[in-house]
Amino acid sequence: MNAKKFRITVSLTVLLLFLSLSSHAQDSLSAKKPLIYSTVGFQISQVSGIGISYGRNMENNFRFRITGGVLTTGSSTYFSFGTDYEFELTKNKPYRVFIGPALGTWGVSTEPPHFNIALGTGIETPLMGGNTIIENITSGVEIYYPTFFTLSKTIGIAGGVFISYNF
């Protein structure tokens, strides 16, 4: 990952964190969020994939999210599939801060697939206002470090962004 992409990813993370914390400084909720809910959206991640995503929050503050996408152009098919397993560090807040492992595979039909494995930390916040992420459109960013890239056999930093509807 070059320095410009790294600076952009870090800047977006800091901006979203600042906006979510400053807009919810009073920390007052009119209703508790449910323990279990689903999420559907779109994710772009260097580790867990690019495409449509589906996630499920479970009672124990964990979310399991899968992402997948396939694009065919001419004689080549590009694919990306992955998963995030996120442990929520914030409870009953109007935003979510999480940490957890992620892995994914991607490639082109004419080549062997590549795999990435990482530990990610991220934040998710309401995009359309409101004081809860349930029944709301949310956006988030995730920074992955360390990330093991099998293509280059290196360890580095990666990033991802997503937009979701939580219900």
Q: How far is CA 59 from CA 63, 64, 165, 166, in A?
A: 9, 12, 19, 15
For the chain, which residues make up each domain, given as ranges?
3-21+32-166
Q: How far apart are the C-alpha atoms of 71 and 151, rounded to whole Å? A: 21
Q: How many CB atoms lie within 10 A of CB 24?
A: 16
- Give the bridge partners for 160, in sequence order: 45, 142
| The CATH classification of domain 3-21+32-166, taken from the options 3.30.200, 2.40.160, 2.40.128, 2.60.40 | 2.40.160
Strand spans (E) along 8-153 = 37-45, 49-57, 62-73, 76-88, 96-108, 114-126, 136-149
More confident residue, 167 or 10: 167
- The burial class, CB within 10 Å (0-12 / 13-18 / 19+), for 143 is buried
Tokens of 125: 């916040």
Q: How many CB atoms lie within 10 A of CB 19?
A: 13
pLDDT digits (tens, 9 = 90+) for 77-97: 999 999 999 999 987 678 889
What confidence category does residue 75 fall into, taking pLDDT thresholds of 50, 70 and 90?
A: confident
Tokens of 60: 């124990």
- The burial class, CB within 10 Å (0-12 / 13-18 / 19+), for 157 is middle
For residue 14, give the 3-state DSSP assignment.
helix
What confidence category does residue 18 fall into, taking pLDDT thresholds of 50, 70 and 90?
A: very low
pLDDT digits (tens, 9 = 90+) for 40-66: 999 999 999 999 999 999 888 899 999
